[in-house]
Amino acid sequence: MAQLNYNHLRYFWAVAHEGSLTRAAQHMNLSQSALSVQIQKLEHQVGHPLFERVGKKLVLTEAGGIALDYADTVFQAGEELLSTLQGRPRANRQVLRVGALTTLSRNFQLEFLRPLVGRADVELIVRSGNVRDLLAQLEAHTIDVVLANSAAPTDARSSLRNHLLAEQPVSLVGRPREARRRFRFPEDLRTEPLLLPSLDSDIRVAFDRVLERAGIRPTILAEVDDMAMLRLLAREREGVTLVPPIVVRDELEAGVLVEHCRIPEVTERFYAIVQKRRFANQLLTDLLSNLAPG
């Protein structure tokens, strides 16, 4: 069996990181045609295309993403060899690239990633963004998973898969109050001002339906699409805030906020969105296998 040609791998590695055949050829003092031939030889040897053209861009295929991870490891090992012999050892680490919806609860993200946090052999890369950009990165194999609070649209031809990780209750919370009667839901919302997630949120849409059925038109202090900001406003402002308790867990435990009531029929779901792959990231496989919907 022929051995891997590491020169070919180096050429591939350079093109993948540059994202351009032209720039990589310039940096390596090669012609584009010569560099292209080397990439083709590596593709022939591994038996898979490593790049595909999308418009004018070179995009890694799934096999290309796997090859790049291994190439990074190979060339990092060379650096670690030098560091070790110079008395500066570095741990070899696996990489998990996570995309998280900008508005997603930071507490939930931490709970999902906690088994990997602090492991010396794991490097976590977490990127925030909107759903469209994150799913594009997932399909381009530049991230391994997208964490979101709504499922990605799929059909028979889609390569995306939704894993339901958890289903959390949604509550009305607020600052502690002195000697006041118990909060009555939904009646008290006729006069109690509200801090709400934006209309883009599934829980906001469901909550609005509950109030509509009750014939209540609330006074809205603010609509916020960022859960971190909603958490801060809940601490600073009077009124009540619609939020999953996990978002304000620390404040509830410290008594900075109190939970007035849970909203019937309204929950927030958390998903891990992945792309169906022949070569799965083992770190992600382990995380998903250890979690059950709750």
Q: What percent of the chain has pLDDT over 90?
A: 48
| Spans in the chain with pLDDT lower than 70 | 1-2, 80, 83-93, 179-180, 291-294
pTM more than 0.85: no
User: What does the pLDDT look like over 239-275, one tens digit per residue?
Assistant: 899 999 999 999 999 999 999 999 988 999 999 999 8
The predicted pLDDT at position 282 comes to 85
Please list the alpha-helical segments (H only) found in the chain.
6-18, 21-27, 32-46, 62-85, 106-113, 131-139, 202-214, 227-236, 249-254, 282-289
The predicted pLDDT at position 293 comes to 45
Q: Are 264 and 254 in contact (CB under 8 A)?
A: no
The predicted pLDDT at position 227 comes to 86
The predicted pLDDT at position 54 comes to 81
Domains of the chain with bracketed CATH: 6-72 (1.10.10.10), 93-166+271-289 (3.40.190.10), 169-267 (3.40.190.290)
DSSP letters for 113-175: HTTTTT-TTEEEEEEEE-HHHHHHHHHTTS-SEEEESSPPP--TT--EEEEEEEEEEEEEEE-
The predicted pLDDT at position 268 comes to 92
Residue 100 structure tokens: 């998280």
